[in-house]
Chains A and B, each alone.
Chain A
Amino acid sequence: MGVILAAASCDPAVDIICAPDDVLELFEFKDALFTIGPFSFTRTVFLMFLATAIVVGFFYFGLRKKAVVPGRLQSMAESVVSFVRNDIAIDIIGPEGVKFAPYLLALFSFLIVGNIFEVTPLINFPITSRMAIPAFLALVTWVIFVFVGFKRNGFSYLLDTAWPKSVPIGLRWLVGLIELVSVFFLRPITLAVRLFANLVAGHLMLTLLLASGVVFLSELPTIGLRALIGIPWFVFGLGIYVFEIVVAILQAYIFTLLSAVYIQTSIHPEH
């Protein structure tokens, strides 16, 4: 088990992983477990399949029997479905939101499992802290809301965004430009980066606090009582641990909520 230290110079001979030279290494997939053709199976990919299997298994076994008086698993699965369907899809998008409920449900449950991996013992790695996964999910949302916008409003979807009729003529070009950039570029980017940034920050914070606690305490024989400085770090890390559970659930909710809002603004623009 390697430990990441933020030190610029450290001895790689010890079982400690040094800080990356370039922060972009955080975005890279390294150390493939095995490779099939062009596809490398890294830990992230494996966890991604595990998350998918958990979600599919949960809903398959939860909703297999469809008893009138639901059992434990069935009532859990039903409450997740009804939360996404009623409180997100129908409340935000309106009656037509039922059509998008399956996508939002898949998104929500996959993200919640992927985020909870951050605080799952023995895994401790949120798959959504790799940019590829939030970026791809945001791209899917982007394709859906742009497609729905063009399908519902025809070409005037683009025209109304770039040339909003409700704005005074003098400012119309400026507002149109801002809207155009905001709708088609900033929306998907911020959607992906919000999830990514929150999970990376939480993962790094947990790693640094808990690891520094462990590293200090394990040095107790050599540096004596000064090693006790590790205790407050470890306790602080445990506090952040609870906080990260909330963040994991909240970020999955916000991603789903914003996807629903973006779809809603494409169906009914100018609101």
Chain B
Amino acid sequence: MVEELAAPIALVGYGLAAIGPGIGIGIVVGNAIQAMVRQPEMAGVARTTMFLGIAFTEALALIGFVLFFIA
């Protein structure tokens, strides 16, 4: 029973793991756009920092992805 459900449960787990990073990336990108619009001369720095922020926020979703494969 449990073995049969392992894959569906892993899928649900990945879905849950994607919620937090989704919200986080939204906040990061939203604030980066605000920064770029308010200070266009700093847009380059804001963009690089935005990619970094996205990359770090994504980590939890990626761990969920790996656990989905492992399960």
Contacts and interface: CB of A to CB of B under 8 A. Distances in A.
Interface of A: 23-24, 87, 91-92, 186, 189-190, 193-194, 197, 250, 253-254, 257-258, 261
Contacts of B58: 190, 194
B-side interface mostly = helix
A-side interface mostly = helix
Interface of B: 44, 48, 51-52, 54-55, 58-59, 62-63, 65-66, 69
A257 B51 contact: yes
Contacts of A193: 62-63, 65-66
A187 to B, nearest CB: 9
29 contacts: A23-B69, A24-B69, A87-B44, A186-B59, A186-B63, A189-B62, A189-B63, A189-B66, A190-B58, A190-B59, A190-B62, A190-B63, A193-B65, A193-B66, A194-B55, A194-B58, A194-B62, A197-B62, A197-B65, A250-B51, A253-B51, A254-B51, A254-B54, A254-B55, A257-B48, A257-B51, A257-B52, A258-B52, A258-B55
Contacts of A190: 58-59, 62-63
B1 to A, nearest CB: 20
A258 B58 CA distance: 13
A93 to B, nearest CB: 13
A169 to B, nearest CB: 26
A23 B11 CA distance: 13
A160 B51 CA distance: 27
Nearest to A88: B48
A87 B48 CA distance: 9
Nearest to A200: B65
Contacts of B55: 194, 254, 257-258
Contacts of A24: 69
Given A23-B69, A24-B69, A261 B52 contact: yes
B67 to A, nearest CB: 11
Contact of B48 (A23, A91, A194, A197): A91
B8 to A, nearest CB: 14
A244 B10 CA distance: 27
Nearest to B7: A23
A253 B54 CA distance: 13
Given A190-B62, A257-B48, 19 more contacts: A24-B69, A186-B59, A186-B63, A189-B62, A189-B66, A190-B63, A193-B62, A193-B65, A194-B55, A194-B62, A197-B65, A250-B51, A253-B51, A254-B51, A254-B54, A254-B55, A258-B52, A258-B55, A261-B52
A90 to B, nearest CB: 12
A250 B58 CA distance: 14
A40 to B, nearest CB: 23
Contacts of A186: 59, 63
Nearest to B44: A87
A189 to B, nearest CB: 7
Contacts of A194: 55, 58, 62
Contacts of B51: 250, 253-254, 257
